Amino acid sequence: MAVVRSSAETSRRIRMRGQRSVRSKVMGVEQTALTLVRDPLRLILFVLTIITISRVHLHYPILAKLRPVLLLTAGALGYAYLNPRYLTNANVLKLWPMRLVALLGVLAFGSAAFGISLGNSALFILDSFSKTLMYAFLIAIAVRHARDLYTFVWAFAISCGILVLFSVFVFDLSAAGETTRLAEMYTYDSNDLGVILMIGLPLTLLLVAVDHGVKRLILLFTVVGIAIAMARSGSRGGFLGLIAVSVAALFLVNGVSATRRFSLLGAALFALGVAAPAGYWKQMSTILSPKEDYNYSSIDGRSALMKRGIGYMVKYPVFGIGVWNFAKAECTISPKMESRPVNEPVRCIAPHNSYVQAGAETGIPGLIVFSSLILGSVVAPIRMRRRLPQYWRKGTPTQRFLYNATSFFPIAMIGFAVTAFFVSFAFFDPLYLLSAFVTGLYIAISAQLKAEGRPEIGALSTSPGRRHAGWRVKRAAVSSLARSAAR
């Protein structure tokens, strides 16, 4: 009996050794640290992301005159069209995030035709929204594996680092009531800054979880800097976003130890408390007394704007008043025009609420698609995480990056969801870039599973049998985007 047991134990050890050997061979190429991809297409999109998110080019008038966003977008489109081998083999339109992005684009275009001002909507689409859609689809089709996605996340983190440096050393504080806050930030205001940084904080923490050495040190300084910038912004929406992101990070992340999570968030909150300018906490305390704020009582406050925005949506339920026509409606069909005293000036202002903006400007279908894109980007990655191999949690850098991304991408979308309630960002880049990141996450996870010889999960398949169909879709999409850019 002893001989039999010894033989069985020996066989079991041989099998385990063999399994470890196979796993080592499968993962051998992923044992080194994650590095940035430096091919021409990824470099163009890397720089385009930094400029689009940080808007650093506006600080340099000569650079701004060159219109770098337009040039880089055109360059990326041209390179992608001529070199489709640098694109993913997957058909991104088979994945729900980009389908919803495309549908939202169709609804926005349709709203222009049936809205209150075709010219105003068309100008916004040609000048801004079409570039936003091109950029999002370029990012989505440029992600082939984890390193590509990692590269673009780093671009967003660098953008936040630039905004932090400018918020601390370049942008000045100005008096606003009983508090002081950042002002004159080129095309961003303090609430806009809160949106970007509350997306960037989870993405930076994702990189902290997988990087080491100098890169991690830079990322940690960025995390602390984000908290300082948020304090200087004086944004109540940003403060609520910070609370939401902090709570979500504590409860949704399981790839990072609780001690590290509490330590990082504690350091960030300490930095916020130290850097808070005069009157900051008094300003934040007004959140608890909303009826005493001007936003509740003023005819142009957020409460009145929300009510009028809902009224526009009810009046134009199918197509809305037209993308980017909210301010136009405020000076034409708004109920406040009826009660305005003669010769009194009227403020034509934006909705200051992305949900109201989506509903008023693209109708009920637009609001449903917009909300679904946000909710799906929170729920779907978390559900995906449950189906990943558990050893990815403590595995190679690539495995840990993908595993943790299923937590931090939803947190980034939560940051957007909360702060978007205070800005007009329904048709600007952050939401569509995050949707492209979630799409890239599906693709990168499938590529990693395939490299490990595991079955793919979800609706995505990148099998060779579908390669050519996916290539035709990509080529057609790039051609369409190139024609749009030419127009």
Determine, yes or no, domain membership for 20: no
Please give the chain's pLDDT, 487 residues, in tens. 444 445 555 555 544 444 444 344 443 334 456 899 999 999 999 999 999 999 999 999 998 899 999 999 999 999 999 999 999 999 999 999 999 999 999 999 999 999 999 999 999 999 999 999 999 999 999 999 999 999 999 999 999 999 999 999 998 888 877 778 887 788 889 999 999 999 999 999 999 999 999 999 999 999 999 999 999 999 999 999 999 999 999 999 987 888 888 898 889 989 999 999 988 998 899 998 888 887 887 888 899 999 999 999 999 999 999 999 999 999 899 988 877 666 667 788 999 999 999 999 999 999 999 999 999 999 999 999 999 999 999 999 999 999 999 999 999 999 999 999 999 999 999 999 999 999 999 999 999 999 998 887 755 544 433 443 444 445 555 555 555 544 5
Supply the pLDDT for residue 293. Answer: 81
In a domain, 326, yes or no: no
**Given this model, what pLDDT does residue 297 score?**
79
- What's the pTM value of the predicted model, to 2 decimals? 0.89
Range of the domain at 165: 34-293+349-486
Residue 29 resides in a domain: no
What pLDDT shows up at residue 19? 42
Residue 317 inside a domain? The answer is: no
Q: How many domains does the chain have?
A: 1
Asked if residue 329 is part of any domain, the answer here is no
Is 298 domain-assigned? Answer: no
**What pLDDT does residue 22 have?**
37
The answer as to whether 195 is a domain residue is yes
How far is 364 from 104, CA to CA, in rounded Å? 12
- Rg of the chain over all Cα atoms, to the nearest angstrom: 24
Angstrom distance (rounded) from CA 126 to CA 156: 25
Look at residue 101 and tell me if it is in a domain: yes
